[in-house]
Structure 1
Amino acid sequence: MSDEALRAQVRDLLHRNMISGTRDGFTYHFTKPSPDTYPFQFFWDTCFHVFTLTALGEVDMAKKHMRSLFQMQQPDGFVGHMSYWKRLWPGRVTDLLQLRPKEVLQLYKPHMSALVQPPLAAQAVIRIYEADKDLAFVKEMLPKLKQLFRWLSKNRDFEGEGLLSIISPFESGMDWKASYDPVLGYDRGKAGPLLFWKVLQVDTFNFLKNYNLPAIYKGNKFIVKDVGFNTIYAQNLRAMSALCKLAGDATAARFDDQAARTEQSIMHYMFDKKDAAFYDLYGHHFQKLKVRTGTIFFPVVLKNVPKGICQCVLERHLLSRDGFNVDFPIPSLAVDEPAFNPHESLYIWRGPTWVVFNWFMQEHLLEKNYTEEAAMLLQSVKQLIRRSGFREYYHPLTGAGYGAEDFTWSGLVVDMIKRQNECERGSCS
């Protein structure tokens, strides 16, 4: 399959999954991650769709997606990780518990979940600006973004250290991530029904607390500082600074200061020198969760992480693939972890390969002149799609496709192709 044919397939995939309309005064336009399994507008999925759409040259469509994402933003800046538009009833019991109790009584009208997801929105707006230099769109979105990041800083940086906490496993976007097992009191390695009930108890606790964040923090049921979430937060604080500078907004320096603080805290609290890894943290005292998931090397992309540490982490875990040595990288969990399961399961992110990890790391590898390694990640994704189609996740050893079909995240391959081509032409960002 040629790159052009792959682009055509991704364009068709996104358009087949696209939904638009109006309801109760709202205008929405989004792409479902998959036709049936994930029919709602998800926060970071929408941002992924922006990267894919702009790589395809469909910039106006990308703008519609971002406007839709912020349609129901609350006055305090909050934006939920799921927006229910046309189909108003949640699909799973866990989705229902991720609403505030009063919203359960209002399922007849558009509403959002009470949870958040990794805040990729500033980078998404930057990408749109890079595509068409529409400063008016930046100025339209910037106030909304500023409100969102103000909410995150005020409500999820509980200790004032620049690190955001998630209150449910579903907030990281990496449901059932194995590093959360110790927090949940699950010690059986491979996932089973007991793990489901442990997670359900967390969401029930949050629901019964009416998503009152001080009360949830005090209860300390699930207070986790996820490496992936906080890396993306730091990246997007930098992106916020860049957007402010474009718009002539005087608060650019404040976002740079926040980003530096977050990066310093990631280094101080999350980095483990002996293991050359960045670990998720749990609780009020920042306890390391020493499980080697696919995010242990994410912070190497950050500005203030020393070059020597970046090289050490990359070479130990990604390039030599210590625990990540598979035919189709990057697995979501090291193969020698007790919880590793590469097969299809309800309990995802515990072994299979997701395209998003390759997409995330490819850009950094290109920037640091690891061009062959970046190309390897791209070729792996192409092979997975050719072999198994656009699937939610893949077996890291065989390439078999699992989970949702016609899954849009795999469409990020077109952005990876665009990056690789630009780099080969000598214009790496």
Structure 2
Amino acid sequence: MTTFDVGVAARALLDGNWREGEYRGRRYAFSVPSPRSYPWQWYWDSCFHAIVRRRFDPAGARAELRTLVTAADPDGFIGHTILWGRPLDAQRAIRYNIASREDLMTRTIQPPLLAWAWAWAAGSAPIEEPRILAHHAWLREHRALEDDGLLWLIQSDESGLDASPKFDHVWGRLGQGRPLFPVLIARNRRLGFDARRIAAAGHPVVCEVLTNVAWSLSEQALGRPSPTPALVARLWDERRGRFADDVRNAADPTPPAARPLTWDTLAPLALPDLPDAIAQRLVAEVLRSPGFAGGIPLPAVSLDDPTYTAQETWWGRHRHWRGPSWVNSAWLVSLGLRRLGLDPEADALAARLHAVVAREGFREYYEARLGYGMGAHAFGWSTLLWELLDPAPPPTLG
């Protein structure tokens, strides 16, 4: 039986997905998330790719992150997807958040991990890159809608969690993966994808957990005051022992207690300054609960939650945030386990995931009970398994 060497396989995948060239007068170099399904550059995927690539190709890791800032608008905006090489076809244009088919980028964001990834992989402090400073200035100006400085989203796909059931009460039939999702895109396009205009018009906006974990990590990487205390103050529910989004103008005013239990309540474990009492409670009451401990690391939805599904649904492939497991979420949670000194638990999590990837390959996600591969093949950020198995200390922030 051939031994599965994660490092060799990860390098081969990221190199096989590598793209270089020039488009509209700008040079690019990055790994696509998956050659068939995701042929362009995705913002937070590239952050994860660079973190892994730094292990064998530091120059390439820096090039991938520089490609993101090369795409930035003069005001600092960097989109969810950068369309290097060719514009969208007509079919995808309906489902992508563009103002025009001539756009280089979609007009929505993804979790802002760039400054944090830069601290991991670029070989220099992110504060030395003025385009990252401009990017954070854009985020503060356009998405920090209240005085606490936390970011607000206009669509579920901005969170990276896409069709998670935690957004069902927010957008209802207009949500990601539902038949009327193009209606939401069209409405937000008319409002310029502007969070303040959207909220003022009475449409939903969300102060979302995972997005603000990414924001806190990146702000700290720039040496700025940590948003973590604000995140805890706004989103931590002490009575229930979990984090929950704050929502304005929800389609259905479902109270937090009735919302699905999804993995992102564990995402704050990645924060180096999360209070230990909260971190320990998350591990004891959520991560070790049967709904998460009993699945392939890490189920997107607790296995015992009524919204969990691993089957095809009437909205097709968008089931992928309604149950199956993702490697990036497992890695982020493992950072918290190691910070708490729970290395054996992190090692066990990595070993369970390694057995699945060795059998199924680097897939987009995995069925959370049986572990069979699902979604795209040759999926880049699943190479974070290397980080899980051979952990390196996170970068010093600040």
TM-score > 0.5 by shorter chain: yes
Q: Name the SS of the counterpart of 2:222 in structure 1.
A: helix
Question: 1:250 matched to which residue of 2?
Answer: none
Instruction: Note if contact 1:419-1:428 (Cα within 8 Å) is conserved in structure 2.
Output: no
Task: Name which of 247, 252, 274 aligns with 1:282.
Answer: 247
Which piece of structure 1 moves more, 68-77 or 411-420? 411-420
Counterpart in 2 of 1:46?
A: 46
Given the superposition, is the C-alpha separation of residues 287 and 98 from structure 1 closer, same or farther in structure 2, using an over 3 Å criterion? same
Q: Deviations over 1:138-197 (max 9, x none)?
A: 57x6211111111111110112222111111111111101110001235xxxxx999613
* Offset at residue 94 of structure 1 (A): 6.2
- Match of 2:365? 393
Once the 2 structures are TM-superposed, how far is the Cα of residue 304 of structure 1 from its aligned partner?
4.5
Corresponding residue for 2:335?
Answer: 363
- 1:428/1:206 Cα in 2 relative to 1: closer, same or farther (>3 Å)? closer
Conserved 8 A contact 1:50-1:128:
yes
- Kept in 2: contact 1:34–1:406 (CA 8 A): yes
- Aligned to 1:403, which of 375, 395, 398? 375
Paired AA for residue 132 in structure 2:
L
In structure 1, distance between residues paired with 2:231 and 2:244? 9
1:76 aligns with 2:75: yes
| TM-score normalized by the length of structure 2 | 0.90
Is 2:188 the partner of 1:206? yes
Once residues 311 and 185 of structure 1 are traced to their aligned partners in structure 2, the CA distance between those partners, rounded to angstroms, is: 34
For 1:45-91, what per-residue CA distance to the aligned partner results, in whole angstroms no more than 9, with x for missing partners?
Answer: 11010011012x21000111111111121111101111111132258
Q: In structure 1, what is the equivalent of residue 234 of structure 2?
A: 269
Q: How far apart in 2 are the matches of 1:223 and 1:121?
A: 23
Q: CA deviation at 1:95?
A: 6.0
Letter in 1 for 2:326: W
**Other-structure match for 1:246:** none
Aligned equivalent of 2:21: 21
- Tell me which of 112, 119, 128 is aligned to 2:121: 128
Distance in structure 2 (CA, Å) of the matches to 1:220 and 1:376:
46
Task: Map 1:136-155; keep pairs closer than 5 Å.
Answer: 142-155=129-142
Question: How far, CA to CA, are the matches of 1:317 and 1:98 in structure 2?
Answer: 34
2:280 is matched with which residue? 311
> How far apart, in 2, do the equivalents of 1:357 and 1:97 lie?
24
Match among 74, 99, 110 for residue 117 of structure 1: 110
Shift in Å, 1:14: 0.8
Instruction: Determine if contact 2:347/2:389 at 8 Å carries over to the other structure.
Output: no
- For 1:201 and 1:96, the matched residues in 2 are separated by 10
Q: Which runs of 5+ in 2 are unaligned?
A: none
Deviation, structure 1 residue 365: 0.8
SS in 2 for 1:30: strand
In 1: Cα distance, 2:168 partner to 2:260 partner: 9
1:16-63 CA-to-partner distances (Å, cap 9, x unmatched) read 1111101221101111100110111010011010011012x2100011
Q: Is residue 269–residue 335 contact of structure 2 (8 Å, CA) maintained in 1? A: no
Is the aligned partner of 1:323 residue 2:295? no
Distance, in Å, in 2 between the alignment partners of 1:177 and 1:91 is 26
Q: Identity of paired residues, percent?
A: 26
Aligned length, in residue pairs:
388
Partner Cα distance (1:383, 1:197) in 2 = 36
Distance 1:428 1:397, change over 3 A: farther
* Aligned residue runs from structure 1 range 187-202, under 5 A: 196-202=178-184
1:304–1:9 Cα change, 3 Å: closer
Q: Give ranges in structure 1 of 5+ residues lacking alignment.
A: 187-191, 242-254
1:93-142 CA-partner distances (Å, limit 9, x unpaired): 46654012xx33x26xxx1110000111111111125xxxx44x857x62
2:317 to 346, 349, 352: 346
- Select the residue among 134, 137, 161 that pairs with 2:148: 161
Give the C-alpha shift of residue 322 in structure 1: 4.4
1:247 paired residue number: none
Structure 1 window deviating more from structure 2 (347-356 vs 208-217): it is 208-217
Query: What is the SS of the residue equivalent to 2:179?
Result: helix
